[in-house]
Structure 1
């Protein structure tokens, strides 16, 4: 039986992973979450893993009091998270959102695990650290993000020289048809109304700004060795086609499915085999017509900022990611406007443009992340005071 560790069990991707794990008959040997003691305890009571870990040490006692009487082991804190990520298992699903996933992911990498990576920020902020360490340790990184999983499924590694480009699709988010003036008045409740996907707040706002797609372009650069100039983006409002690979003979291989994260999680859990998943079959007649548009980088500058950061190299993508996390949090807390998110990211990149060289170690990555967050925080308060 395949043994699975699930990091980020209480989030939206974590819930999809639990559905795939249960349907596939996998053994859940370890689970973790950030701060949700009640939600994590409920999952532990249901699946009875060997270890349950809370990232927030302040909640450790409450978790232990809930699970101890049931004979279930628990722990809390960053070290416990890393130990869980490295525990003996056949698959480690990383569904922790944001930069917080970096060290647990590296712990799984260094242990040589097969990692089902549903976190964008690890590769955006530290792809130059994560991927070389994965190769050195013999770890395997399988992309769970729906677009990258789609590319992975139709990417012919043996025909690398014949690949013209890869194309990520974007839904366009809730503001796809909104004017610039309307977006200037948008509030968090508007940005969180995604038309197709049920996701966490941060990634839903990223979809609204299209920063999500920018982060995915950076992530794709680390996963698929085709070169920056051969990674394209097309807006596809129906979210049925998730990714495409165009070959030299004119063939375009596309991956299609209903918009459910259960599908890519199940693919990675079963890989290289194919297994069942609790998802409805795709009905092309019911979902038609399928339409495609070019992204508008004037109304949605985040995509352009991400491409520019990737081209700049060095610390730029790490700075972009940190500034975006800070700006999105400020927007969700009603401290800045929707259009201020990209502005804060752009200004942070400009303020730290002097940072040269690549991030060679995780300490470099974390140092740059902290500096970028400090700058971005000051900029968000300047926006709110304006």
Structure 2
């Protein structure tokens, strides 16, 4: 496709934090990017507003039960679909060039695989897809010759640092983590953490689930697993470092000892724009880091007693097979129960550890087996502790 014409974009997950930042990028580059399809899980009023603003003719609602009441919100020239079928239809629109997958959880797996089979490039902002079905997604992308463009800021940083360097020159990657809002609190303080406290991040504006994941560093565990699939690295070549300022988004260490880093302010617009315009570049939505200002960058290793979820993620990655999928599903349910005040903050890693120890995973599971294990894990995680 020539870079001189607009890229047609499908956005799955238009009303979340990634979606809202994507819309900012689209507004900035209307001459380069054209929104042709949008999806949301349940917020159909906002979805209808997005369709009106960007003149989108194809929309999908993940929660099919809301379809009857949602339909009247959309103009007559918008085709509204729902459920997994609707997401899949949207992700395979013939006119689409790239699909940005920002829906949360496993519901994006089949639409993403369908988009790959249809030859669409994928901008991936859903960690769970590779955690749950990494082998299947990577194999499909290679077979169809489509690009998997990582939209998480950490993986996007690695992707940018690796450009021009053959993988044979790569020694390891180092993912940075803010450490969340409790990184400097005494360990005893974590026993009393409330959902309200855990959903206030010091650097990033994100949804409740991922903000809690940042506090437990389960999100960094998911990113380790994602990096394993994206860059073909075993656990020993994947490291994590605490970096409170969230300016350095990741490091790449080459075999000669040189370390490359990618820096930008803590905003998702930088990574999103890089993926959507790739391989081209254009002025960004926000100003970059200003080195005329005085600031410092700090780094320290993570403490596994404070961040038990990160250690569990390493263990799951070492175990392989279905273990990463179990980690992901157990964490999703544990965080949901914490947000609903059914569990304490420190119960989140306990639930994950219980599920990892109690569910028999397959060493090379099929996609259907993974989905079944995912469902089984969620059932167990809802009832323990």
TM above 0.5 = yes
Once residues 349 and 269 of structure 1 are traced to their aligned partners in structure 2, the CA distance between those partners, rounded to angstroms, is 36
Q: Give structure 2 stretches of 5+ with no counterpart.
A: 1-5
1:208 is aligned to 215
Once residues 68 and 283 of structure 2 are traced to their aligned partners in structure 1, the CA distance between those partners, rounded to angstroms, is 38
Once residues 202 and 165 of structure 2 are traced to their aligned partners in structure 1, the CA distance between those partners, rounded to angstroms, is 37
Structure 1 residue 129 and structure 2 residue 136: aligned?
A: yes
1:334 is aligned to 341
2:80 is aligned to 74
Q: How does 1:115-194 map to 2 (within 5 A)?
A: 115-156=122-163, 158-194=165-201
1:290 aligned residue (291, 297, 301): 297
Q: Classify 1:224/1:157 alpha carbon distance in 2 versus 1 (closer, same or farther; 3 Å).
A: farther
Q: Give structure 1 stretches of 5+ with no counterpart.
A: none
Q: TM-score, normalised by structure 1?
A: 0.95
Secondary structure of the corresponding residue to residue 96 of structure 1: coil
2:224 is aligned to 217
Deviation, structure 1 residue 213: 0.4
Q: How does 1:240-279 map to 2 (within 5 A)?
A: 240-279=247-286
Whether the 8 Å contact between 1:6 and 1:94 is mirrored in structure 2 is yes
Secondary structure of the corresponding residue to residue 75 of structure 2: helix
Once residues 107 and 217 of structure 2 are traced to their aligned partners in structure 1, the CA distance between those partners, rounded to angstroms, is 21
1:316 is aligned to 323
Structure 1 residue 22 and structure 2 residue 27: aligned?
A: yes
Deviation string 1:148-169 (CA, Å, 9 cap, x unpaired) is 0000000146432222211100
Once residues 342 and 149 of structure 2 are traced to their aligned partners in structure 1, the CA distance between those partners, rounded to angstroms, is 37
Moved more, 336-345 or 279-288: 279-288
Deviation, structure 1 residue 285: 4.6
1:374 is aligned to 379
Whether the 8 Å contact between 1:180 and 1:299 is mirrored in structure 2 is yes
Secondary structure of the corresponding residue to residue 382 of structure 2: helix
Deviation, structure 1 residue 134: 1.5
Runs of 4+ in 1 over 3 A off after TM superposition: 284-287
Once residues 226 and 294 of structure 2 are traced to their aligned partners in structure 1, the CA distance between those partners, rounded to angstroms, is 29
Deviation, structure 1 residue 287: 6.1
Q: TM-score, normalised by structure 2?
A: 0.95
Once residues 287 and 240 of structure 1 are traced to their aligned partners in structure 2, the CA distance between those partners, rounded to angstroms, is 14
Deviation, structure 1 residue 281: 2.2
1:357 is aligned to 363
1:229 is aligned to 236
Once residues 308 and 233 of structure 2 are traced to their aligned partners in structure 1, the CA distance between those partners, rounded to angstroms, is 24
2:246 is aligned to 239
Once residues 349 and 164 of structure 2 are traced to their aligned partners in structure 1, the CA distance between those partners, rounded to angstroms, is 35
Once residues 165 and 156 of structure 2 are traced to their aligned partners in structure 1, the CA distance between those partners, rounded to angstroms, is 18
Deviation string 1:308-329 (CA, Å, 9 cap, x unpaired) is 0000011100001000000000
